[in-house]
């Protein structure tokens, strides 16, 4: 006996075509392969338990003050139909903060597309049976998996909203990365009437894993999430931050042709550009971008003022307008994080890789350099 979503996926034209195509295997073997991937992808969201997640996660969530901008955009979009939230990816706390921001404002929580490395042990059970997270195998080229994933996402969108990260994993350099098109293409192929993408930007004064991410710069290997979680617990000592979640105007998916590769890329880059424009520019990023290895306070403030002028001209979403205020707040936060120190009347860099990480978070707004 097949469940409803398995029957729907197997009935989709692209899946049926794969089952008939051979690919070096019998029709039965192809069907078993598709069904095995469906079992891996299957997820359930239990909304009554959703809010209760804050309690076991309270030690981390209490350290992050949540702020939201343009909440009327997703509110109107969810009233009209199905929504996909496409967000930049800064931290493992993103998929805790963003759904709770929606729930804080009475909006239904979306399913979340998350890396399959997050699905081991008790946390995996929580993701699969409460939050409604969908385990995604990144960078695979198996045609059976890609066809199954796209068909499964298309069927999910008939009954659920979806939150995903076009960058794939977190940004290790701090920069806004180029988008991946797999899930975007799946949404375009879903054929869901009135489906829209809500560009979503999340920014933090301080990212919980900043030192761990900056130390690598680029992702070289996938570590077990249990080791990443243990590292995050250590980094949370003394941690406190604001998280700004900013929603953009909805982008109708049906304006783009899913069969045209150019349209898929155009939509992906439009989403990425909108996320970059919405990204909240906070004092830590501005001070990091204006900082020199050794600098006097007045020179740093002058550099911050010049940088703010450039950001205004670029139409950036500024979290602070005054150079003095930005310098005061940025220095206080970065000194508390032991990124900058004050010695003999000058500010000096103590953790260069971390400082560069924060400076790069606004590099997309300053294409010619800070």
pLDDT at 326: 97
pLDDT tops 60 at residue 93: yes
Q: Are residues 84 and 172 in the same domain?
A: yes
More confident residue, 121 or 262: 262
Average pLDDT of 54-62? 65
The burial class, CB within 10 Å (0-12 / 13-18 / 19+), for 272 is: buried
Range in 5-9, 207-211, 223-227 the model is least confident about: 223-227
Confidence tier at 216 by pLDDT (50, 70, 90): confident
Q: Are residues 335 and 352 in the same domain?
A: yes
More confident residue, 71 or 16: 71
How many C-beta neighbours within 10 Å does residue 354 have?
A: 25
Which of the listed residues 230, 252, 277 is the one where a domain comes to its end?
277
In percent, the amount of the chain with pLDDT more than 90 equals 56
SS3 350: coil
The burial class, CB within 10 Å (0-12 / 13-18 / 19+), for 324 is: exposed
pLDDT at 370: 44
Q: How many domains does the chain have?
A: 2
Average pLDDT of 198-225? 80
Write out pLDDT tens, residues 244-284.
Answer: 999 999 999 999 999 999 999 999 999 999 999 999 999 99
Report phi then psi at 200, rounded to 5. Answer: -135, 130
pLDDT tops 90 at residue 130: no
> 366: number of CA atoms within 13 Å, CB side?
20
Q: What is the DSSP letter of 364?
A: G
Q: Are residues 303 and 217 in the same domain?
A: no
pLDDT tops 80 at residue 139: no
Highest mean pLDDT: which of 75-79, 102-106, 130-134?
A: 75-79
Contact status, residue 360 vs residue 175, Cβ threshold 8 Å: yes
What pTM was estimated for this model as a whole?
A: 0.89
- In this structure, is residue 357 part of a structural domain? yes
pLDDT at 52: 62
pLDDT tops 60 at residue 226: no
Contact status, residue 235 vs residue 211, Cβ threshold 8 Å: yes
Average pLDDT of 4-11? 86
Mean pLDDT of the chain: 87
Give the closest residue to 91 by CA, choosing from 363, 361, 289.
361
Residue 306 belongs to what domain range?
283-365
Contact status, residue 71 vs residue 133, Cβ threshold 8 Å: no
d(C-alpha 363, C-alpha 370), whole Å: 7
Range in 102-116, 296-310, 342-356 the model is least confident about: 102-116
Average pLDDT of 302-309? 97
Q: What is the DSSP letter of 165?
A: -
Listed in sequence order, the DSSP H helices in the chain are 4-11, 13-20, 27-41, 47-50, 58-61, 72-80, 94-104, 121-129, 143-156, 182-189, 210-216, 225-235, 261-278, 283-290, 297-313, 323-336, 352-360
Which of the listed residues 277, 300, 327 is the one where a domain comes to its end?
277
SS3 305: helix
Which of the listed residues 248, 277, 306 is the one where a domain comes to its end?
277
- In this structure, is residue 370 part of a structural domain? no
pLDDT at 124: 60
């Amino acid at each position: 006996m097949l469940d409803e979503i398995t029957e729907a996926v197997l009935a989709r034209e692209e899946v049926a075509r794969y089952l008939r195509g051979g690919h070096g295997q019998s029709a039965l073997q192809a069907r078993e392969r598709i069904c095995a991937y469906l079992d891996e992808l299957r997820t359930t969201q239990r909304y009554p338990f959703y809010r209760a997640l804050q309690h076991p996660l309270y030690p981390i969530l209490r350290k992050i003050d949540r702020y939201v901008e343009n909440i009327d955009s997703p509110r109107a979009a969810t009233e009209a139909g199905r929504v996909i939230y496409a967000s930049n990816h800064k931290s493992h706390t993103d998929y805790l903060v963003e759904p709770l921001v929606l729930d804080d404002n009475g909006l239904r929580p979306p399913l979340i597309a998350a890396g399959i490395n997050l699905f081991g042990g008790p946390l995996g059970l929580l993701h699969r049976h409460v939050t409604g997270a969908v385990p995604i195998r990144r960078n695979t080229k198996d045609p059976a998996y890609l066809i199954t994933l796209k068909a499964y996402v298309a069927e999910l969108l008939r009954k659920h909203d979806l939150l995903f990260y076009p960058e794939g994993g977190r940004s290790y350099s701090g920069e806004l990365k180029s988008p991946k098109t797999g899930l975007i293409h799946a949404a375009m192929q879903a054929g869901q009437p009135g489906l829209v993408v809500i560009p979503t930007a999340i920014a933090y004064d301080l990212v919980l894993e900043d030192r761990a991410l900056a130390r690598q710069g680029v992702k070289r290997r996938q570590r077990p999430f249990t080791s990443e979680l243990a590292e995050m617990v250590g980094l949370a000592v003394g941690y406190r931050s604001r998280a700004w979640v900013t929603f953009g105007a909805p982008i109708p998916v049906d304006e783009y042709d899913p069969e045209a590769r150019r349209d898929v890329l155009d939509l992906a880059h439009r989403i990425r550009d909108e996320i970059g424009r919405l990204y909240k520019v906070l004092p830590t990023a501005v001070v990091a971008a204006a900082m020199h290895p050794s600098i006097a306070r007045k020179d740093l403030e002058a550099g911050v003022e010049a940088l703010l002028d450039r950001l205004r001209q670029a139409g950036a979403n500024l979290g602070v307008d005054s150079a003095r205020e930005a310098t005061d707040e940025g220095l206080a936060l970065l000194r508390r994080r032991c990124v900058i120190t004050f010695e003999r009347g000058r500010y000096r860099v103590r953790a260069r890789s971390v400082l560069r990480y924060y400076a790069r978070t606004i590099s997309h707004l300053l294409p010619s350099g800070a």
